[in-house]
Amino acid sequence: MPDSFDQLPGRAHQDIRTFHPRRVPLSRAQREALTDHWPAVGFSVHNPDNGTPPVTPEGHLDTVTLYGRAAPLVLEIGSGMGEGVAQMAAADPDRDYLAVEAHVPGIAGAVQRITEAGLTNVRIAHGDALALVRARIPEGSLDAVHIYFPDPWPKNRHHKRRIVQTRHVELLRARLRPGGTLHCATDWEHYAEQMLAVVEADPGLTNPHGGYAPRPDHRPVTKFEQRGIDLGHTVRDVVAVRTG
């Protein structure tokens, strides 16, 4: 199975990628994790050879079949190596987590973590989270969306690749339930300012903090956050609630 993961997610839509297409060799442990556990915990957004998600007759993600229960669903976009989502899901057993990641070693790492921890409330999707949301996530269905330390795309000409931008936030807000939250975090000051401006301009979102949010205890420190802290960056959280 791991060889088929080498195929990068195709472009399901005429959109600009928000992730770096990278090919990084898998470690032996990562290959074994995918071979042994992927069918039980993961599915592909783009490549049916790597598993398809259960869907309802309407074509939506069938979360009752996927998790074996009906529970509030948290979408984590760009889950990296999965250390954050594994810790949050372990501490939050009454909600289900869907971690979406385009980077293959990242999904292999997440598979290792969630299987070692015996977590039943996490599933992993390989591919472009925005394509999955457009195709499979119904409006008003998500309890929360997490976007933690997204690729900063610091050069001006690459800002169009940032995941937190107006049209993506409009898409994600529509998938949140009323009262559901969008939570973003970054250590890049310019991106933090963009996150704040975009959520505050969205007519269906309200920022309960009136600025940056205090760092919530439930968000674990990942390697990406630690790297930013080590560089002397200030970490910002932006939280918005769907009110419209």
Ligand X SMILES: C[S@@+](CC[C@H](N)C(=O)[O-])C[C@H]1O[C@@H](n2cnc3c(N)ncnc32)[C@H](O)[C@@H]1O
Nearer to ligand X, 206 or 220 (CB): 220
Number of residues that bind ligand X (CB under 6 A): 23
Helix (H) or strand (E) holding 227: helix 223-230
Q: DSSP 3-state assignment of 158?
A: helix
Question: Does 155 belong to an annotated binding site?
Answer: yes
Binder to ligand X among 42, 105, 150, 228 (CB under 6 A)? Answer: 150
Helix (H) or strand (E) holding 199: helix 189-201
Nearer to ligand X, 129 or 199 (CB): 129
Residue 43 · residue 53 · CB < 8 Å: yes
Q: Does 42 bind ligand X (CB under 6 A)?
A: no
* Cα separation, 66 vs 87, whole angstroms: 20
Binder to ligand X among 50, 73, 98, 103 (CB under 6 A)? Answer: 103
Q: Does 187 bind ligand X (CB under 6 A)?
A: no
Question: Does 92 belong to an annotated binding site?
Answer: no
Identify the DSSP state of 122: E
Catalytic residue among 96, 151, 202, 237: 151
The footprint of ligand X on residues 152-181 (CB under 6 A) is: 163
Question: Does 83 belong to an annotated binding site?
Answer: no
Using N-to-C axis directions, what is the helix angle for 83-90 and 104-116, rounded to 10°? 30
Question: Does the annotation count 94 as an active-site position?
Answer: no
DSSP string, 75-116: EEES-TTSHHHHHHHHT-TTSEEEEEES-HHHHHHHHHHHHH
The residue with its CB nearest to ligand X is 78
Q: Does 78 bind ligand X (CB under 6 A)?
A: yes
Question: Does 223 belong to an annotated binding site?
Answer: yes
Residues engaged in binding ligand X (CB under 6 A) = 18-19, 77-80, 84, 100-103, 106, 128-130, 148-151, 163, 222-224
